Amino acid sequence: MSTRRPAAASFGSLFTAHVPPSSAPGSTPDSPKLSVVIPIYNERTTIGELLARVRAVPIPKQIIVVDDCSTDGTAEVLAREAEAGDLEVVTHPTNQGKGAAVRTGLGQIRGDVVIVQDADLEYDPAEYPKLLAPIERGITRVVYGSRFRGGPHKAMYFWHSVGNRFLTLTANVLFDTTLTDLETCYKVFTADVARGLGLRSDRWGFDPEITAKILKQGHRIYEVPISYAGREFAEGKKITWKDGVTVFFTLLRYRFFD
């Protein structure tokens, strides 16, 4: 494992001064402070409300939406939303998976810090300031929002909760850490961390891949409690037990073979 890198002192002023271009490739004096990457697939009924909530967060931001070849009218909604001029939409010509969409989005970032935001309404963008605070204070380069650290939340499916806790425990054993929520959507990291990830997983393997690579690079993940309004399968929830199997073997792969 590589030597742990301490958080740079300059991160303490991250939201009053931009990272210089020399230390953040692609950054310019006009770069936004936050890049929000939103992977999306068939979320026509929720994307408008989600974008309204993201826009309402009082932080200068770049909003990147990656449409992973939606077929339900999502593209038409995004075209209307893009007319506001504050939205960057990238469209995959074929469905490639959430991991591929996140990877595409990370390739477009111009902000100092990146947050991954699902396109449904399970996670509340109003909590961005809380998630960003540890990075702003120079405590860490990586923050995860945990649904199991006391924030208000709608009850999850029992087996989803058990599966998440088992996979989180597996990650803790393999990488000697103490996470409580491996599968959280809210993964926040500085742009330099994002550019060094080199993600390859196209589908649900991207969550454990991100975590494994962050930990193997020597970063410690700071968790903060978040709220959670989990939706039902009838409302469009997509994850199944098969995705959990993918996550488990991806953790093993990046611990021992990659």
Tokens (6 digits) for 199: 């993600």
pLDDT tier for residue 129 given thresholds of 50, 70 and 90:
very high
Tell me: pLDDT of 104 over 80.
yes
Structure tokens at 17: 């001064």
Q: What is the pLDDT of residue 72?
A: 96
Write the DSSP symbol of residue 80: H
**Residue 4 vs residue 202, higher pLDDT:** 202
Element (H, E) at 175: helix 158-175
Higher pLDDT, 223 or 32: 223
Neighbour count for residue 210 (Cβ, 10 Å)? 25
Where residue 192 falls among pLDDT bands split at 50, 70, 90? very high
CA–CA gap between residue 220 and residue 238 (Å, rounded): 30
Closest to 174 measured CA to CA, from 202, 223, 216, 222 = 216
Catalogue all structural domains in the chain, each as residue range(s) with its CATH number.
10-256 (3.90.550.10)
Which residues make Cβ contacts (< 8 Å) with residue 106, sequence separation at least 6?
A: 37, 114, 194, 195, 197, 199
pLDDT of residue 153: 60
Higher pLDDT: 19 or 94? It is 94
- Tell me how far apart the alpha carbons of residues 133 and 122 are, in angstroms, rounded to a whole number: 21
Per-residue pLDDT tens over the stretch 142-185: 999 998 887 656 555 565 677 778 888 998 999 999 999 998 99
Phi-psi region of 176 (alpha: psi -120 to 50; beta: other; left: phi over 0): left
Least confident of 53-62, 83-92, 235-244: 235-244
Q: What is the pLDDT of residue 52?
A: 98
Q: What is the pLDDT of residue 13?
A: 43
Fill in the DSSP letter of residue 5.
Answer: P
Closest to 189 measured CA to CA, from 78, 65, 106, 254? 106
Paired sense of beta strands 61-67 and 87-91, if any: parallel
pTM for this prediction: 0.82
Alpha carbon separation from 124 to 116, 127, 161, 204, 234 (Å, rounded): 12, 6, 19, 21, 20
Average of pLDDT values for 86-110?
A: 96
Range from 81-90, 214-223, 231-240 carrying the lowest mean pLDDT:
231-240
CA–chain centroid gap for 100, Å, is: 13
- Widest Cα–Cα separation across the chain: 48
